[in-house]
Chain A
Amino acid sequence: MALLEVKNLTISFGGLRAVDDFNIEIKKGQLYGLIGPNGAGKTTVFNLLTGVYKPDEGIIRLEDRDITGLKTIDINKAGIARTFQNIRLFKELTVLDNVKVGLHNHYPYSTIEGILRLPKYHKVEKEMNERAMELLKVFELDGEADYLASNLPYGKQRKLEIARALATKPKLLLLDEPAAGMNPNETGELMDTIRFVRDKFDMTILLIEHDMKLVSGICEELTVLNFGRILTQGKTGTVLNDPQVITAYLGE
């Protein structure tokens, strides 16, 4: 059974079909890549999947549940979390608190319990701290837990964004250009992290990436977008050797 099933997804902005008849099926535990030249509509697909935009047509199903047209927060609750191309951290919060906001919906206590510092507050906060530190350890950020997020170096900010997304206990993780702005060393390290996340959290991951080394290194299947339409999809090796794909990237 597919974890994510998208059929005939379409959206237009002022007459321009930004995404046209997009279909995808991602199996549980898969590492799936979404590639294509700039402006092909990759991030728009992410925005459609996470409810930032409402599709004009099409169906999105997560574990057979129709989540088309739901609000962003409900889609997150249904099990999709994401990172952003231009990093969006809570800059004035500490690294630890960034992850704790991600844990928000899974560790509840009431406002009154929080303000009056009732026992439940202390208990839940302790659990949250432990869980958040565990997540930070995975990304080797535990040493910087008390830093403000904005003081982290770029590569670690990207990792923190992934940690925060994982804190919401998603079934599907969407990564929007996780390797953007990283040097080859950092990219290599990131590939290990992504694989590790998949194995340790039993996660299904869909990622947008331009770095072909990363894509060919970790993605099992690919979908190539060009001008909002699917150019081709299938096993990574086959897709990357497709002459159509090479043309789309390099031009005629």
Chain B
Amino acid sequence: MKKMNITKTTKNNLITYLMVLLAYLAVQMLLLTGNISSLMKGLLVPLCIYVMLAISLNLTVGILGELSLGHAGFMCVGAFSGAFFSKCMDGLMPDSLRFLAALLIGAAVAGIFGILIGIPVLRLKGDYLAIVTLAFGEIIKNLVNVLYIGKDKNGFHFSMKDSISLHLDAEGQVIVNGAQGITGTPHDASFTIGIILIFISLFIILNLINSRDGRAIMSIRDNRIAAESIGINITKYKLMAFSISASIAGVAGVLYAHNLSTLTALPKNFGYNMSIMILVFVVLGGIGNIRGSIISAIILTLLPELLRGLSDYRMLIYAIVLIAMMLLNWSPKAIEWKEGLKRHSKKEKEVK
């Protein structure tokens, strides 16, 4: 018989893919039989977006080991660049091709932002890095709110003041209208596309982790000085993880933009509150555990919606979950207690 050569990690990854596939099939069944409320239907694409955001942030927080509080900023960059492209190209190229291009552009622009921000920021450590990424996220949100871009036959016009300063001619069209954002982005997002994008993101992240580059990234997380001493290029691998993470958040942003008729940059969707919510998903699912991020993103999004009346308590629940998880998993006393329990149950087994 041929020896089955499946390692533990490959098996783990297969389970993750299978889980997403099963979830997709289950939802498709529900959709076909009509057993799904309109509320739930409306949640399907956002769910995909949250899952992508959570797994991509986990790459930065769990694999690279740096706390970023600006993840929503990259989503914002992706959303606006993708929506901008779609608005400009709407009707000029086939819809599916245009959407694909929009996704790639969102990924590229967010990735470039990731590199640009990463170069200065990744020199900092711990708390400093957290607060500076938060600052960058807020700056991006603020900038988008004062950004005006219009188009007429003379080409593009930019302004940071108001739409009148664009000096468009009579046929000119305002595409990005400051705080009003972008309106009329084509509605291309669907649950199936969302799932496909999750698969692609998972494929990239899981394969990256289990490769030479992934090991280098994790070695920096575990011990930067030792990694340097054996010739690992710290800056290169930090930037790699950070920009891939940003890229995937950008794609999630493009999906977000193409799921709404109006795209505006509010504290609610692109502010640091959003970044922190994504962090909650990552923390609850287990820092560094990609599959955990998927599960927690789904549960934490669905739970408050399903248990009606609980939605007021949503953020309160998140807060308590966050504190409880940290205290249980990281406090030296709790760890000791858990290990004591383990030893205890082992002993009991041996007695039996």
Chain A residues within 8 Å of B, Cβ to Cβ: 50, 52, 72-73, 76-77, 81-82, 84, 88-93, 97-98, 100-102, 104-105, 107-109, 111, 114-117, 121, 124-125, 128, 146, 164-165, 167-168
A242 to B184 CA separation, bound complex (whole angstroms) = 87
Q: Which residues of B lie under 8 Å from residue A167 when comparing CB positions?
A: 230
A121 to B204 CA separation, bound complex (whole angstroms) = 14
Query: With A88-B223, A90-B218, A92-B222 in contact, do A50 and B212 touch (Cβ < 8 Å)?
Result: no
Interface residues of B in 174-212 (CB under 8 A from A): 203-204, 207-208, 211-212
Query: With A114-B208, A114-B211, A117-B207 in contact, do A89 and B223 touch (Cβ < 8 Å)?
Result: yes
Q: Is the CB of B232 within 8 A of A73?
A: yes
Contact with A along B231-246 (1 / 0, CB 8 A): 1111000001000000
Chain B residues within 8 Å of A, Cβ to Cβ: 8, 203-204, 207-208, 211-216, 218-219, 221-223, 225-234, 240, 288
Beyond A76-B231, A101-B216, A104-B215, 20 additional contacts (C-beta under 8 Å) are: A52-B225, A76-B228, A76-B229, A81-B229, A82-B229, A90-B218, A90-B219, A90-B223, A92-B222, A93-B219, A98-B219, A104-B232, A107-B212, A111-B211, A114-B211, A114-B213, A115-B208, A115-B211, A124-B212, A167-B230
Q: Is the CB of A111 within 8 A of B219?
A: no
Query: With A102-B230, A104-B231, A115-B204 in contact, do A88 and B225 touch (Cβ < 8 Å)?
Result: yes
A143 to B46 CA separation, bound complex (whole angstroms) = 46
Secondary structure at the B interface, as helix, strand, loop or mixed, is helix
Q: Is the CB of A100 within 8 A of B215?
A: yes
Q: Which residues of B lie under 8 Å from residue A121 when comparing CB positions?
A: 211
Name the residue in A52, A73, A102, A146 with the highest tally of chain B Cβ atoms < 10 Å from its Cβ: A73
30 contacts across the A-B interface (CB closer than 8 A): A50-B229, A72-B228, A72-B229, A73-B228, A76-B230, A81-B229, A81-B230, A88-B223, A88-B226, A88-B229, A89-B226, A90-B227, A91-B223, A93-B215, A93-B218, A98-B219, A101-B216, A101-B230, A104-B212, A104-B215, A104-B232, A105-B231, A109-B212, A111-B208, A111-B240, A115-B204, A115-B208, A115-B211, A146-B8, A165-B229
Q: Is the CB of A114 within 8 A of B207?
A: yes
The number of inter-chain residue pairs (CB within 8 angstroms) is 95
Q: Is the CB of A90 within 8 A of B216?
A: no
- What residue in chain B is nearest A174 (Cβ atoms)? B229
Q: Is the CB of A90 within 8 A of B213?
A: no
Closest-CB distance, A163 to chain B (whole angstroms): 11
- What residue in chain A is nearest B228 (Cβ atoms)? A72
Q: Is the CB of A168 within 8 A of B215?
A: no
A163 to B82 CA separation, bound complex (whole angstroms) = 48
A82 to B219 CA separation, bound complex (whole angstroms) = 16
A124 to B207 CA separation, bound complex (whole angstroms) = 15
- What residue in chain B is nearest A115 (Cβ atoms)? B207
Q: Which residues of B lie under 8 Å from residue A115 when comparing CB positions?
A: 203-204, 207-208, 211
Q: Which residues of B lie under 8 Å from residue A128 when comparing CB positions?
A: 212
Name the residue in A72, A84, A115, A121 with the highest tally of chain B Cβ atoms < 10 Å from its Cβ: A115
A103 to B203 CA separation, bound complex (whole angstroms) = 25
Closest-CB distance, A137 to chain B (whole angstroms): 20
A121 to B213 CA separation, bound complex (whole angstroms) = 11
Query: With A114-B212, A115-B211 in contact, do A84 and B231 touch (Cβ < 8 Å)?
Result: no
A76 to B232 CA separation, bound complex (whole angstroms) = 9
A89 to B224 CA separation, bound complex (whole angstroms) = 10
A101 to B224 CA separation, bound complex (whole angstroms) = 12
Q: Which residues of A lie under 8 Å from residue B226 when comparing CB positions?
A: 84, 88-90, 164
A202 to B174 CA separation, bound complex (whole angstroms) = 71
Q: Is the CB of A101 within 8 A of B219?
A: yes
Closest-CB distance, B66 to chain A (whole angstroms): 15
Q: Which residues of A lie under 8 Å from residue B8 when comparing CB positions?
A: 146
Which of A91, A93, A116, A164 meets B230, CB within 8 Å?
A: A164
Query: With A97-B215, A111-B208, A111-B213 in contact, do A92 and B231 touch (Cβ < 8 Å)?
Result: no
A111 to B210 CA separation, bound complex (whole angstroms) = 11
Query: With A101-B227, A114-B211, A121-B211 in contact, do A91 and B222 touch (Cβ < 8 Å)?
Result: yes
Q: Which residues of B lie under 8 Å from residue A146 when comparing CB positions?
A: 8
Name the residue in A108, A111, A128 with the highest tally of chain B Cβ atoms < 10 Å from its Cβ: A111
Closest-CB distance, A161 to chain B (whole angstroms): 8
